[in-house]
Chains A and B, each alone.
Chain A
Amino acid sequence: DGGITQSPKYLFRKEGQNVTLSCEQNLNHDAMYWYRQDPGQGLRLIYYSQIVNDFQKGDIAEGYSVSREKKESFPLTVTSAQKNPTAFYLCASSAVHGISYEQYFGPGTRLTVT
């Protein structure tokens, strides 16, 4: 089955540690996205990438970093510079050319930093 996988489902870290969240897709989509979700805030875009080896900052990129070395993978690193990293993180992907910008979402990773 085609889809997006995120691992792990739950992640716990100590304050001051960097942590990397995994996102893999086998939909052959060019574009991938990372969102942060907090209660009552909706989804806020962290980073997105439309092509391998290229990515752009979203609305809340501070304290996060990404890489896009392969089309199917778009890992997100939450650095120690992120002041409030505890949140639910969602990865998504979409085709870029010729259609309606519909995004497909992974199941999410809930990160808790104490």
Chain B
Amino acid sequence: AQSVTQLGSHVSVSEGALVLLRCNYSSSVPPYLFWYVQYPNQGLQLLLKYTTGATLVKGINGFEAEFKKSETSFHLTKPSAHMSDAAEYFCAVAGDSGYSTLTFGKGTMLLVSP
């Protein structure tokens, strides 16, 4: 069965600083990987996804992630944090079961200070 580990339940950065949110996965088949963002009391919004092809994936709001098979990682980055980036971020993996279910990590809350 697949699993996802997000390192750090909370990450704090200053506005303008680099954002790095870590995600490691396990999967017995080539994975499909996702990052979602959730603002308070709202649903999840897809930031970006990796399916096949280019390992550096660009998403919305200036975020990007790199799939590294050898490290089983899919870390999310943004060069310069903005106050509006403060939210909870979830990494997810699909692909093991043959169905379209996703396995989510426990989430990382990003705090951005002025």
Contacts and interface: CB of A to CB of B under 8 A. Distances in A.
Contacts of B51: 100
Interface residues of A, number: 29
Given A100-B49, A102-B49, A45 B42 contact: no
Contacts of A96: 100
B32 A105 contact: no
B41 interface: yes
Interface residues of B, number: 23
A45 B101 contact: yes
B43 interface: yes
B104 A42 contact: yes
Nearest to A91: B43
A42 B44 contact: no
Interface in B91-114: 94-95, 99-102, 104-107
B63 interface: no
Given A107-B43, A108-B43, A110-B41, A101 B104 contact: no
Contact of A101 (B32, B41, B43, B90): B32
B43 A43 contact: no
Nearest to A106: B43
Given A33-B101, A90-B44, 20 more contacts: A6-B43, A40-B106, A40-B107, A42-B104, A42-B107, A43-B44, A43-B90, A43-B104, A48-B101, A56-B99, A94-B100, A100-B32, A100-B94, A101-B32, A101-B101, A101-B102, A102-B46, A102-B49, A103-B100, A106-B43
